[in-house]
């Protein structure tokens, strides 16, 4: 149980580390179009993302997949740019398109998982049993993502209820800000 706690804490602390803010930006823009009342859809969305990055994280840690780190570091902000751009294009929230969002989240999770793999490999070192730590780390990542989601949903609720900001205005503000930051990151990493 002590190992689970250690890797769980590493997972959520890694996701909330301001030095790796690209992941915070991605999760924020991913759920930025939702409201607090949409928590079920957001939970599924974030879990789809977690499933995606858990798959590639495991494949990489077990040395089944090897990646070009520079390519992955470039693709991560590209996924953020695409997500933000799609959000900006959506003029109205449409529940019919949820499955598209889930597929995007899972696919982009595959890319982000490869970004985590080098960090986790360095932490695991020469551990003989890595299934337990890998699981605990992923649960910690999911917990950290849910904290980000909760923060974004609370901010959006406050803005819409107290300051009468429309859902569209909030989406454009968040998505365009994240788009700009991620585009700069992608250009720098290119």
**8-state DSSP, 166:** -
Rounded Cα distance, 135 and 123, in Å: 14
- pLDDT at position 90: 82
* Separation between Cα atoms, residue 96 and residue 17, nearest integer Å: 34
pLDDT at 71 over 90: yes
pTM, entire model: 0.92
pLDDT at 140 over 90: yes
Helices (H) and strands (E) in the chain, counts: 7, 0
For residue 85, count CB atoms less than 10 angstroms from its CB and return exposed for 0-12, middle for 13-18, buried for 19 or more.
middle
* Cα–Cα distance measured from residue 72 to residue 77, given in angstroms and rounded to the nearest whole number: 9
Residue 23, pLDDT above cutoff 80: yes
Nearest by Cα to 156 from 29, 47, 46, 44: 29
Encoded tokens for 141: 């990542």
The residue-averaged pLDDT of 35-44 equals: 91
So what's the pLDDT on residue 1?
61
pLDDT number for residue 119? 81
**What residue spans define the domains of the chain?**
44-189
- Angle subtended by helix axes 21-31 and 131-161, to nearest 10: 50
């Amino acid at each position: 149980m002590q190992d689970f706690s250690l890797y769980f804490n590493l997972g959520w602390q890694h996701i909330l580390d301001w030095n790796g803010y690209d992941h915070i930006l991605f999760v924020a823009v991913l759920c930025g179009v939702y409201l607090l009342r949409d928590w079920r859809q957001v939970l599924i969305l974030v879990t789809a993302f977690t499933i995606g990055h858990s798959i590639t994280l495991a494949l990489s840690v077990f040395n089944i997949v090897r990646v070009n780190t520079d390519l992955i570091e470039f693709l991560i902000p590209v996924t953020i740019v695409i997500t933000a751009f799609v959000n900006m294009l959506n003029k109205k929230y449409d529940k019919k398109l949820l499955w598209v969002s889930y597929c995007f989240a899972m696919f982009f999770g595959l890319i982000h998982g490869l970004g985590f793999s080098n960090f986790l490999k360095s932490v695991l070192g020469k551990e003989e049993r890595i299934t337990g730590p890998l699981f605990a780390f992923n649960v910690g990542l999911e917990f950290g993502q849910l904290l980000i989601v909760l923060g974004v949903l609370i901010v959006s609720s406050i803005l819409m209820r107290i300051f009468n900001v429309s859902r569209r205005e909030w989406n454009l503000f968040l998505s365009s800000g994240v788009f700009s930051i991620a585009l700069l990151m992608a250009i720098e990493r290119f």
